[in-house]
Amino acid sequence: MTDDVLRLDAVTFRRNGREILHGIDLTVRSGEHWTLLGPNGAGKTTIVGFCAAQTHPTTGTVDVLGKRLGRVDMQALRRHIGHVNPRHPLRSPLSVLDVVLTGFTGTIDTAMRWEPSAAELERARAVIAEVGLTDGIDYRWPDMSQGERGRALVARALAPEPELLLLDEPTTGLDVAAREQLLETIDSLAHTSPEVASILVTHHLEELPETTSHAMVIAHGAVVASGLVHDVVTTDVISDAFEHPIAVGHQDGRWSARAIKRTAPATP
């Protein structure tokens, strides 16, 4: 019996004849909280596509929740994966409760001819409470702030009790206060849903939740480093990946990054 939730072995991906990813290996186990770090264009979004059972690799194998891509109904598998995308393309004026209920159907809008069961309604209200939106359960999507939308999408992802939670740059578009509220919500999941494995994608170290346990840093479609977060998120690794001297700091559970000032040569 394995507790592997996700496993990528020697994964490559080509698009239009160009290799985007080069031999990616990644194993995520139950209860682990990973971050996927790297500059823009590094290949993070492509990797998330495998994790979300949306894309097949060109070569190599991808196993999600014990099912191998290419041998499984992808749509059925996706119902067991929670995916938080801040670019959620909802256009209807759904309430917070209705948005969260779409997590059970895996749809953007309310599914036609579908009614939630009493158990699903109870679960939806429970996760809304977990993310601190009980007082706003009737808020409508067009009228919600970006922070409220972010928390609603986390609740939507958690509603069907997934084994894997994907957070794809979840703080995009948030101001500092809303970002911190969302990170607090994500950190709380380690206590409310301790068995759920998660992967958070970002290129900003200050957006890493305190509960981050592991990290993979990629650049130019290849792994720079992977493992325990304190072994991976270092000045040398981050500077290498971003091709710029960056000092990495860690204080009170949070990470920071700043450019290392180059010393001007002494004048004779």
Same domain, yes or no: 2 and 55: yes
Q: pLDDT band for position 192 (50/70/90)?
A: confident
CATH code, domain carrying 207: 3.40.50.300
Give the Cα separation of 82 and 137 in Å (integer). Answer: 20
Q: pLDDT band for position 264 (50/70/90)?
A: low
Give the model's pLDDT for residue 171: 85
- 77: amino acid identity, one letter: L
Same domain, yes or no: 46 and 178: yes
> Which residue, 140, 161, 182, sits at the end of a domain?
161
Q: Is the pLDDT of residue 2 over 80?
A: no
Same domain, yes or no: 180 and 68: yes
Q: Is the pLDDT of residue 223 over 70?
A: yes
Q: pLDDT band for position 185 (50/70/90)?
A: confident
Same domain, yes or no: 57 and 183: yes
Give the model's pLDDT for residue 130: 85
Same domain, yes or no: 199 and 129: no
Percent of the chain's residues with pLDDT above 90? 61
Q: How many Cβ atoms sit within 10 Å of the Cβ of residue 217? A: 23
What is the tens place of the pLDDT at every residue in 24-48? 999 999 999 999 999 988 999 899 9
The answer for 23, left when phi > 0, alpha when psi is -120 to 50, beta otherwise, is: left
239 is a domain residue: yes
Which of 93-97, 108-112, 144-148 is predicted most confidently? 93-97
Total domains in the fold of the chain: 2
Same domain, yes or no: 211 and 232: yes
**CA dist 201 to 64, 93, 115, 144, Å?**
17, 28, 33, 24
Same domain, yes or no: 75 and 169: yes
Q: pLDDT band for position 191 (50/70/90)?
A: confident
Give the torsion sign (CA, 182, 155, 107, 83).
Answer: positive
Same domain, yes or no: 245 and 171: yes
85 is a domain residue: no
Same domain, yes or no: 126 and 145: yes
Enumerate the H helices of 163-254 as residue ranges: 176-192, 229-232, 235-242
Q: Is the pLDDT of residue 214 over 90?
A: yes
156: nearest Cα among 115, 100, 111: 100
Which one has a higher pLDDT value, 55 or 226?
Answer: 226
Give the Cα separation of 224 and 238 in Å (integer). Answer: 9
84-93, 122-131, 205-214: which range is least confident on average?
Answer: 84-93
Helix (H) or strand (E) holding 247: strand 246-251
202 is a domain residue: yes
Q: Residues 182-209: what's their mean pLDDT? A: 89
Give the model's pLDDT for residue 23: 94
Which one has a higher pLDDT value, 173 or 124?
Answer: 124
> Which residue, 135, 161, 187, sits at the end of a domain?
161
Give the Cα separation of 162 and 159 in Å (integer). Answer: 8
DSSP state of 265: P
Give the model's pLDDT for residue 88: 86
Q: pLDDT band for position 1 (50/70/90)?
A: very low
Q: Is the pLDDT of residue 254 over 90?
A: yes
Q: Which residues does 119 contact at the CB level (< 8 Å), separation at least 6?
A: none
Q: pLDDT band for position 267 (50/70/90)?
A: low
Domain that holds residue 235: 1-80+162-268
Same domain, yes or no: 190 and 233: yes
DSSP three-state, residue 146: helix
185 is a domain residue: yes
Same domain, yes or no: 72 and 168: yes
9 is a domain residue: yes
73-94 core/surface letters (b: 16 or more CB in 10 A; e: else):
eeeebbebbbbbbbebebeeeb
> Which residue, 134, 161, 188, sits at the end of a domain?
161
Terminal-residue alpha carbon distance, the chain: 68
181 is a domain residue: yes
264 is a domain residue: yes
Same domain, yes or no: 261 and 176: yes
222 is a domain residue: yes
